[in-house]
Structure 1
């Protein structure tokens, strides 16, 4: 299944004070394919760049909801940690998908120039943002992915793993916070060298791709971040707790409790990733997705054998 590789500017006629200039496909998106969009604004006689984020069939299969993403970005607009939303276009006669348009952030994708400690500080900053209206219901998301996986991929072992998790209770730890649920360096933008930064200041980091963000357990979000970035668990928890104290006056540090919580969530993270990769293999027909899904299945097999 492939998303449309051609850009149709017709829906942009719904936008006031905006004339279409150009659109360029963006590489690197795993959930769906987005476009860099250039618009001219007659009222200011200036042009600006944006990101066109459609709700394609593939994005839907990953559980994406552009309305939720738009609401969250609106709620955290003043934080400076995320791109500002520009418009949410409804489905129309020429476009059967909802489209979120957000500002384009100048900069480059983070790499080693963002330390593990900075990652955990960003995580703590996100957890201090206003609580989103919608919540990630983990078992509901697991069931949703399961329904979109072809039967030929559901081996006896995978079915046993699925039943195992369906029968488990969630780790009960901390109150909900705003969670990103995909905080990898690939979703962090660092200012380019030519962008002005005051002497002695740290570069301002911004986080993109809030399509999975929701209210949820912060220790689950931290567990996902640790896995996605291959962080040392105890060091990450230490850095996170120190940073959280700076953003939340009510936060009480209980290091052992956080380590226990993150450890408890890790198998759930791995199972979510396993099903996500199987959905991704069906969508993109990329053998790497199938390889990663099989690797995780073999790792989780110890839970049922």
Structure 2
């Protein structure tokens, strides 16, 4: 763990009504390392758990903006889908370093008992949330990753892939909605007794750091890839959750969404390829490099 990602309790002095009781590092978290806090609030004599989400140089390498994340969580606060934001602290204004503190959500990480159908229902609920003011520009995000990747990782094959996608125009299929852009089961919290779930309505979603406005079919494609879903079945489940009429595998609406998913899939794989290379540059973990190489091999035919 990098020094600037070690929890600094002195920063809690920036909060007017909080005293630290305990702090513990959370496992997982690929983009950044978060902490679970237990804070006491003298004003109401209450204690609560929170998550400390830093914005360090590491997170900035992935294009994270805690101000955007805070604003989005405030926007959807009444949805009961996400943790409520507690505070946004400027910890190092000279380096644009911030900490976002959000409520801790009780429960457990979703597993296969949270069905693919429920997952697509949850995706549709997210897309029905209020529209954020900031949106994903996929080419801008790609260029940010590209500039972060060191020259020695840019093979001739990777350069060809980069130029191929750089020359493609982006086609948007649907009007912008609120998108999570990382809706894997690893970011879904369900009740400790998964049997309590009714159509996934009890599920909540964490890690909204990539969330913004965007084409919902792009978000759906990322969800399909992150959870290894069948595109045809996922699109049908998603359209059913949106209450589209005449939902069959050959209905016009389903075919349009499936066309969009097929279009976005290589873009998502390319974005993931660059993300893994940034991750390797940041964490020096060979697993990131192996994942990137697999995606590079998969995409190379498009660039030849």
Deviations 1:91-113 (A, max 9, x none): 34899721100000001111112
Hey, what does 2:241 align to over in structure 1? Answer: 243
Is 1:42 aligned to residue 36 of structure 2? no
| Equivalent pair of 2:109/2:186 in contact (CA under 8 Å) | yes
Equivalent position of 2:99 in the other structure: 99
Q: After superposition, what is the alpha-carbon deviation per residue over 1:122-161, rounded to whole angstroms, capped at 9, x for unaligned?
A: 1000000000010000000000000000000000110010
Q: Deviations over 1:175-211 (max 9, x none)?
A: 0000000000000001113x9959x786600000000
CA distance in 2, matches of 1:171, 1:24: 44
Worse-matched range after superposition: 171-180 or 122-131: 171-180
* Other-structure match for 1:258: 257
Distance 1:42 1:30 in 2: 34
Over 3 Å counting, the alpha-carbon distance change for 1:45 and 1:233 in structure 2 is same
Query: Match for 2:228 among 223, 227, 230?
Result: 230
| Contiguous gaps of at least 5 residues in structure 2 | 245-250
Trace 1:108-123 onto structure 2 (pairs within 5 A): 108-123=108-123
Mapped contact 2:124–2:238 kept (Cα < 8 A): yes
* 2:208 equivalent in structure 1: 210
Q: Distance in 2 between matches of 1:253 and 1:107?
A: 39
CA contact (8 A) 1:10 1:94 kept: no
Aligned residue pairs: how many? 298
CA RMSD across the alignment:
2.1
Measure, in 1, the Cα distance between the counterparts of 2:287 and 2:191: 31
TM-score (norm 2): 0.93
* TM-score, normalising length: structure 1: 0.93
C-alpha distance in 2 between matches for 1:114 and 1:295 = 28
Q: Secondary structure at the match of 1:292?
A: helix
The answer for the alignment partner of 2:11 in structure 1 is 11
Q: Is the 8 A contact 1:19 1:39 kept in 2?
A: yes
CA contact (8 A) 2:118 2:200 kept: no
